[in-house]
Structure 1
Amino acid sequence: MPQYDLPLPELERYRPERHEPADFDAFWSRTLAETAAHPLAAVFTEVDAGFTELVTEDVVFAGFGGHPIRGWMLRPRHAEGPLPAVVTYIGYGGGRGHLAEWTALPSAGFAHFVMDLRGQGAGHRRADTVDPGVGGPHFGGFLTLGIESPEGYYYRRVFADAVRAVEAVQGHPAVDPARVVISGGSQGGAIALAAAALTPGAVPVTPVGVIVDVPFLSDVRRAVRLVDTAPYSELVSWLGVQIDPERQERAFSTIDYFDGVNLAARGTMPASFAVALLDDICPPSTVYGAYNSYAGEKTMTVYPFNGHANGGAARIAEHIAFARSLT
């Protein structure tokens, strides 16, 4: 498809209006305190995936509400000393998938933790974690699940899970807790932005950097007016049925607690972003909305002729280089 959003020079200057709730920080402090009240209880169990040069582990830890969250941990078998680590969050509809999908980073010398997503896994990668918090009317997937209240919204649970995942990784005996990078693309990029904002003070050591590729859930009020593709189409469909303006605004007001623009303003660790100018799922201007709001040192990789998959394998090489530069 042709470029449909703002020209690149305008994207580089674009800074959206922020709709930030007055109790934004208090809401997240309360959420993380409630989550931390449950023992982390992280358990790493080695499984045989057939990789002679890698140690592969099935992971369970307590996320939001004390709910069991699963993950994978992979690391080089013969590496000495505490390892740098990368924590990865997954795109919409996916989960931790299969171990064979995650061999690149441990092959480069990193411990790699992949967090499962509660209730997802019917899209592009399987998940093995249920969501006991599911409730209330919603359309299709997860974007509108619990959308009329920030306390009950789906992403409150997921973002809290993401913080606990970093804590679990930092407690692994093979990991150097002072050399952890967080990463994600699309929905995973939204989760990574949240983790960058919320982990300082909530985990033993603040992560040293974050990778944010084509983030979802950023500048949402603009996104739903630019694209009709999933997942934003789920919110458009919900708004089209719930036509009461007050109810519509209540939904947007809920999302404001989770919007990447507001979370980016609280991220201070070094960040590597990526945007694709033909992306019709996460519009380029919404990606730049998060990028230009990000408070820390940052760089942007631009893919002028790519869609939502952005740089693909070439971007993975950039992930490795960025993580190495920090660890």
Structure 2
Amino acid sequence: MSRFDLPLDELRAYRSASAEPEDFDAFWAKTLDEARSHALDARFERVDTRLATVETYDVTFAGFGGQPVKGWFVIPAGTREPLPVVVEFVGYGGGRGLPHTHLLWASAGFAHFVMDTRGQGSGWAPGDTPDPVGSGPAYPGFLTRGIEDPYEFYYRRVFADAVRAVEAARSHPLTDASRTAAIGASQGGGIALAVAGLVPDLAAVAPDVPFLCDFPRATTITDRHPYREVASYLKTHRGRTERVARTLAYVDGVHFAARATAPALFSTALEDLTCPPSTVFAAFNAYAHEDKAIEVYDFNDHEGGDFFQQAAQLRWLPEKLTA
């Protein structure tokens, strides 16, 4: 595979053409007000993983519409004092998985909260959260569910869930709410960016090869799914491009990045056909907080830095969360 996007010097200056809706802030304020009209009702039930170094809890909390959303909460064994908390969002098609697979951040001395993604969890890791909200005609996948109306769009529900996940994580007595990080890779990175723009008091954000950024470019520069789902939908539903573009603008990571108030560590890969580097740089360049950095992996596809990026995060996050 060869590099297909802009040269690196142009990527560092690139700006998205995504048009921000005039009522962007009002739309999300209304969405979150509606979500918060339901009691959070966060419940943490201890589970036996047969692991000696961590304690794991099966979590249920009320997300969008008061609907139950699952998660895992993992802390170092024997924790007695509040810890910084890392809230993680997962990639496209995956769910929260099995509890013994989430050991990294508790092993580093943090509390770790993993949000299940509604309706997903059958692609590569199992999930346990349904999406009971109906959808009109959609291309197989999740990206076009309700895509012609921002109020019916699938990611409105997911982003509301994500904000409530942060609130659920912070509600546990063994977390320090003032030291909260949002992280994730691919779709998880896009969700983390949304949280960065919607939660004003995070301590750190780490979007890894983030999805859901710079839709005007992403949907035209790559043929790879999930972005291809939008083109496939419009191929069948001719003449609806403007309506779809309007909906996508409400969930574009570029606009959330412009509202971010926490330090950030991004990553991108220059041969990434799934989340092209220009779309990641679009969000990075728009990111409002001056304390930001981006790791660039020259010869990698959507795996990006993978374990190398985790190592970079392990060097970076403690500085932000233990200050």
Please point out which of 271, 275, 282 is paired with 1:289: 282
Tell me if 1:300 matches 2:282: no
Which of 210, 213, 219 does residue 214 from structure 2 map onto? 219
Q: Secondary structure at the match of 2:9?
A: helix
Match of 1:53 in 2: 53
Contact 1:115 1:162 in 2 (8 A): yes
Deviation at 1:80, TM superposition (A): 4.1
Paired position in structure 2 for 1:198: 198
Matched, 1:312 2:306: yes
| Structure-1 separation of matches of 2:142 and 2:68 | 19
Contact kept? 2:18, 2:216, Cα under 8 Å: no
Amino acid at match of 2:276: P
Q: CA RMSD in A?
A: 0.9
Amino acid at match of 1:306: N
- 3-state SS of 2:78 partner: coil
Determine the C-alpha separation between the residues in 1 that align with 2:250 and 2:21. 7
Equivalent residue, structure 1, for 2:134: 134
- The equivalent residue for 1:179 is 179
Cα displacement (A) at 1:199: 1.2
For 1:41-60, what per-residue CA distance to the aligned partner results, in whole angstroms no more than 9, with x for missing partners? 00000000111111000000
What does the per-residue CA deviation read over 1:56-75, in whole Å, with 9 as the maximum and x for residues that have no partner? 00000000000000000111
The question of 1:239 aligning with 2:234 is answered: yes
Give the aligned partner of residue 203 of structure 1. none
Task: Show the counterpart of 1:165.
Answer: 165
1:279 aligns with 2:272: yes
Q: Unpaired runs of 5+ in structure 1?
A: 201-205
Question: Deviation of residue 321 (structure 1)?
Answer: 2.0
- How far 1:18 sits from its partner (Å)? 3.2
| SS at structure 2 position matched to 1:218 | coil
Q: Does 1:32 align with 2:20?
A: no
Residues in 2 aligned to 1:207 and 1:61: alpha-carbon distance in whole angstroms: 20
Cα distance in structure 2, aligned partners of 1:165 and 1:175: 13
1:325 maps to a residue whose letter is E
**Counterpart-to-counterpart distance in 2, 1:313 and 1:126:** 22
The alpha carbon displacement at 1:17 in A equals 2.1
Structure 1 vs Structure 2: percent identity of aligned residues? 51
Aligned to 2:73: 73
Contact 1:276–1:308 (8 Å) recurs in 2? yes
| Contact kept? 2:226, 2:274, Cα under 8 Å | yes
Q: Secondary structure at the match of 1:25?
A: helix
Deviation of residue 172 (structure 1)? 0.4
Separation of aligned partners in 2, 1:30 and 1:318: 37
* Distance (whole Å) between structure 1 residues aligned to residue 126 and residue 62 of structure 2: 20
Q: Which residue of 1 aligns with 2:94?
A: 94
Letter in 2 for 1:236: A
Deviation at residue 164 of structure 1 after TM alignment: 0.4
Contact 1:79–1:109 (CA under 8 A) maintained in structure 2? no
Q: Which residue of 2 aligns with 1:253?
A: 246
Alignment partners' CA distance in 1, 2:241 and 2:236: 10
For the 8 Å contact 2:17–2:216, the answer to whether it is kept is no
Q: Structure 1, residues 66-102: CA drift from partner, whole Å, max 9, x if none? A: 0000000111012442111100001100110011221
For structure 1, which segment, 71-80 or 43-52, has the greater mean C-alpha deviation from structure 2 after superposition? 71-80
How many residues end up aligned between the 2 structures? Answer: 320
Task: Using structure 2 for the length normalisation, give the TM-score.
Answer: 0.97
- Residues 169-219 of structure 1 deviation map (CA, whole Å, 9 limit, x = unaligned): 11101111111111011111110000010012xxxxx22010011111111
Work out the CA distance in 2 between the residues paired with 1:79 and 1:40. Answer: 24
Cα pair 1:192 1:210 within 8 Å, conserved:
yes
Letter in 2 for 1:133: V
Measured in 2, the distance between the counterparts of 1:160 and 1:295 equals: 21
TM-score w.r.t. length of structure 1: 0.96
Q: Retained in 2: the 8 A contact 1:134–1:154? A: no
